[in-house]
Amino acid sequence: MKHLIAPSILSADFGNLQRDIEMINASAADWFHVDVMDGVFVPNISFGFPVMKAVAEHAKKPLDVHLMIVQPERYIEQFADAGASMITVHYEACVHLHRTIQSIHNAGCKASVALNPHTPVALLKDILGDLDMVLIMSVNPGFGGQTFIPNTFSKVEELKRLASTLQPDLLIEVDGGVGVQNIQELAIAGVDVFVAGNAIFAAPSPAEMIAKMKQLDPNQSIVA
């Protein structure tokens, strides 16, 4: 499968959000990545349903919604109604993870689980067969612009091996510090979906940066 690019609208210009949404619509990007933070699970607050609904109204590509919140199971139906296509919950935030994954599927969305940098991949063994995607956090969640954690490569490779027998169709997503400097090596390790915020929106031409990331070929080098 060709890799997917999911620009994180957390790094967009919120004073010109519709403009940036339309830029992504017209670009080579595949998804919108929507980070929802509650100030409890992570030390930051982003946005909720009103902003999500506004994004969904203008977005022409699927919304990949990443819930960095406590007790995400309380809001699954609301995020589905707000336009989510994929809903990601954190392993660390879910007491009854299997039930939460069932709720996501019952709401008509694809289900994903995120792992913080310190959380072992092996903990997903008993739930992997029920997942559509796993998000490996390559920074500590909560803020954009952080430095990529190198141990991410070994976690991706381990997850790829585990999924090969338990869930061969699993998508592997990476979020945090992703850019042209590491996207090649991450693809080789087994990443299917790349979330990028600052690398895209801080570029002179965000659309050209998206195109550069999308043109990735694991057998060729990328010129920054």
User: Catalytic amino acids?
Assistant: 35, 175
Q: Among all chains, which residue has been given the structure tokens 């976690």?
A: 155
Tokens representing 51 are 């902003």
Q: What is the largest CA-CA distance in the chain?
A: 46
Q: What is the pLDDT of residue 43?
A: 85
Domain boundaries, given as residue ranges, for the chain: 4-214
Say which CATH class 4-214 falls into.
Answer: alpha beta
- Identity of residue 90: H
- Among the listed residues 189, 139, 186, 185, the one whose alpha carbon sits nearest the alpha carbon of residue 161: 189
Residue 143: predicted pLDDT? 67
pLDDT higher at 222 or 194: 194
Contact between 10 and 144 under an 8 Å Cβ cutoff? The reply is yes
In the prediction, which pLDDT does 35 show? 95
Asked if pLDDT for residue 172 goes beyond 50, the answer is: yes
Contact 178, 148 (CB under 8 A): yes
Q: Is the pLDDT reported for residue 200 higher than 50?
A: yes
Q: Tell me which of 37-46, 62-71, 114-123 is least confident.
A: 37-46
pLDDT given at position 224: 46
- Which SS3 state, helix, strand or coil, does residue 38 take? strand
The 8-class DSSP code of residue 118 comes to T
Task: Provide the 3-class DSSP secondary structure of residue 11.
Answer: helix
Rounded to the nearest integer, the mean pLDDT of the chain is: 93
